[in-house]
A = this chain, B = another copy of it.
Amino acid sequence: MIDLTSMSKPQSVAVVGASPKPGKIGHTILNNVISSGYGGKIFPINPKEEEIAGLKAYASVSEVPQPVDLAVIAVPAARVLDVARDCGQAGVKSLVVITAGFKEVGAEGLELEKQLVETCRKHGMRMLGPNVVGIIDMHTPLNASFSATSPQKGEIAFLSQSGAMLVAILDWSTQVGLGFSKVVSLGNKADLSEIEFIEDAAADPNTKVILCYIEDIVDGPRFLDVAARAARQKPVIVIKSGTSQAGAQAASSHTGALAGSDLAYDVAFRQCGIIRAHSMTELFDLAVAFAKAPVPKGNRVAIVTNAGGPGIITTDNVEAKGLQMARFDKDTIEELRANLPAEANIYNPVDVLGDAKADRYRFALEKVCADPNVDSVVVLVCPVGVTQPVETSEAILEMCKKFPEKPIFAAFMGGESLAGGASMLAKAGVPCFTFPEPAVASISGLVKYNEILETPRDDGTNGLPSFDCKGVKAIFYDVIKDNRLVLLGSEAAEVANCYGIPAAPVVLATSPEEAAEEADKMGYPVVLKVASPKILHKTDVGGVKIGLKTAEEVRQAFTEIMDNVHGYMPQAVIYGIEVQKMMPKGTELIIGMTRDVQFGPLIGFGLGGIYVNLLKDVTFRLARGLNTREIEQMLRETKAYTLLRGYRGEKPRDIEALVDTIRRVAALVNDFPEIAEMDINPVFAYENGLSALDIKITIS
């Protein structure tokens, strides 16, 4: 883990390009550094000035007589490289390069950016930027940015790849009373990226939740490692833009980012425990929830309301979000029954009725919170005649104190008449909304995080045997020497065998006699298929013969296939004919792999056969770190799973063998990055064991 102290908690800061003129970025930055209450040394750098804002100015960083931890650079792009060199020579530890005009403006800018990174490397400096708004740490305190708004101090770290988004959020945050621990504008991410700042924020005792707006990820594997560790320390919530086809185009024209496919991001975030937000509102609702509320121990929600309709809507929402309506203990129900009016609904949602004052809310809330079958609570208040919003808020706050392990969220459904109560809750840090839906959505986020925390870590390598890597290498060597990228079926089966993937026996024969001999060895019936990388649709050219039951049939089929193929495609290079044992029909599955540019191999599993593209019953995981539990979860997500467990009276299939095989496929594609694509379709699953019938491997 790298040390970002010199950036977020520096002993001294130089502002290069500091200016006495209001309106200049260099003026705003210096002003922000000073007015943020920063306690270290501040050095304005400007060759034309003697003094700025009452501080002695220097012509260059190297002229500063004291050590400089952090230099914030806001000079024209053409001068940035010189300034960086000067900083390097002066022993500056960190740079924040505000200046734009680098990678984002084209090839020339990219070249300049590369030189800038080299300069930093040479002098051992780390750099944020270029093209950033700056960095703010509210607990240092230090505002080294040109943001017009200084945020409130709080517990949310916010990292943003979009500067405008960051500025917009800061402006908005002061209005809604949201506070931050750190705010980092990531810009072009030429050196430091979200990875280092996520790691830094995870270790920061002042940060309770980490928020990221990102458009791309530069180093997928490292991101996954860091994020997976960070996510177990505190919640990491990401909004990743560029999910759409058109959005990805806009993203790349904007920051030159190469957007990975959205599926891979989805899978990657999920696997490393990142919570993905799908709108700005969701992002900040979750931020507040995590900053203010405890993480519940489970997904059972209780609702206390003074009106039926809102209770029903909230119940709908609880189910729609995959949460459960808590079923109360008998004791809870008895106590509610004994003490609430007869017309009250004492089951969940608890309806304390329209004439409920604060004391009735307090009573019901206390009983519900104390129930061991309740993990979190939503309180709904409608402004009917006798409602006591302020006193009801007090009751809610009491319960928050008394049951600190259970999140309590409120929806005060109204305006002016409830404002006093609602603002009391907000001030005390209890999330309070106008409508119930965001309250439920927030609880759903907390519950998701609890599931992440409760998932044991397991990188998937436990108990894996060692595989015959040498065997695989030897096969690939031959394929490459033969100037091919696609393996023959027999080669792919050999590769599979090296990793213990149960391939159906298949052997390449070059003569009718050899084919018959091989068939005799493996046992009948067999299939013969022409082996030629150029022939994609073997059946169409008469290149396949099935159900061969004797050596004689095999010899004859061999000759027929050769004749057919020569007839249809006289110029095709034929490697021979594959003899494959016909396996008994099992449940048809597919196991496949596609490689994502950011996150590496993705393993797919689902219903196989010729309808695989039609039914689209395929679920994905990153091969990296794929463990047994995740594979089992993967199976459960598919319709194929219903078949595997025994559909319509059939015997269950060998799920254990299937999980094992998927692990082996993952190990294979992790070990050999040269495998570009792999498809096993179909895999036949039996009551005992599997058979991988048609294995396709493409290398790069």
Q: Taking beta carbons and an 8 Å cutoff, which residues of A are in contact with B?
A: 105, 146, 148-149, 160-165, 167-169, 171-176, 213, 215, 239, 241-247, 250-251, 253-255, 278-281, 306-313, 315-320, 325, 343, 345, 347-349, 351, 354, 382-385, 413-419, 434-438, 610-611, 614-616, 639, 642-643, 647-648
Q: Is the CB of A316 within 8 A of B435?
A: no
Q: In the complex, what's the smallest C-beta–C-beta distance from A454 to chain B, in angstroms?
A: 24
Q: Is the CB of B417 within 8 A of A149?
A: yes
Q: Which of B164, B610, B614 contacts A639 (CB 8 A)?
A: B614
Supposing A172-B415, A414-B171, A615-B615 touch, asked if A309 and B343 sit within 8 A by C-beta, the answer is no
Q: Given the complex, which residues of B lie within 8 Å of A105, measured CB to CB?
A: 343
Complex: chain B residue closest to A133, CB-CB: B384
In the complex, which of the residues A163, A171, A173 has the most CB atoms of chain B within 10 Å of its own CB atom? A171
Q: Which of B149, B164, B416 contacts A175 (CB 8 A)?
A: B416
Q: Is the CB of A382 within 8 A of B165?
A: yes
Supposing A174-B416, A610-B648 touch, asked if A383 and B168 sit within 8 A by C-beta, the answer is yes
Q: In the complex, what's the smallest C-beta–C-beta distance from A610 to chain B, in angstroms?
A: 7
Supposing A315-B247, A417-B149 touch, asked if A310 and B176 sit within 8 A by C-beta, the answer is no
In the assembly, what is the distance between CA of A239 and CA of B313, in Å? 9
Please give me the 4 A-B residue pairs with the lowest Cβ-Cβ distance, nearest first: A162-B309, A164-B307, A175-B415, A244-B319
Supposing A167-B384, A253-B345 touch, asked if A172 and B434 sit within 8 A by C-beta, the answer is yes
Q: Is the CB of A281 within 8 A of B435?
A: yes
Q: Which of B308, B436, B610, B639 contacts A255 (CB 8 A)?
A: B308
Q: Is the CB of B280 within 8 A of A435?
A: yes
A165-B307, A165-B313, A213-B309 given; name 13 further pairs at CB < 8 Å: A164-B307, A172-B415, A175-B416, A215-B312, A241-B309, A241-B312, A243-B319, A246-B348, A247-B315, A254-B312, A280-B435, A281-B438, A610-B648
Q: Given the complex, which residues of B lie within 8 Å of A313, measured CB to CB?
A: 165, 239, 241, 247, 280
Q: Is the CB of A416 within 8 A of B171?
A: yes
Complex: chain B residue closest to A385, CB-CB: B148
Q: Given the complex, which residues of B lie within 8 Å of A349, measured CB to CB?
A: 250
In the complex, which of the residues A383, A436, A610 has the most CB atoms of chain B within 10 Å of its own CB atom? A383
Complex: chain B residue closest to A284, CB-CB: B435
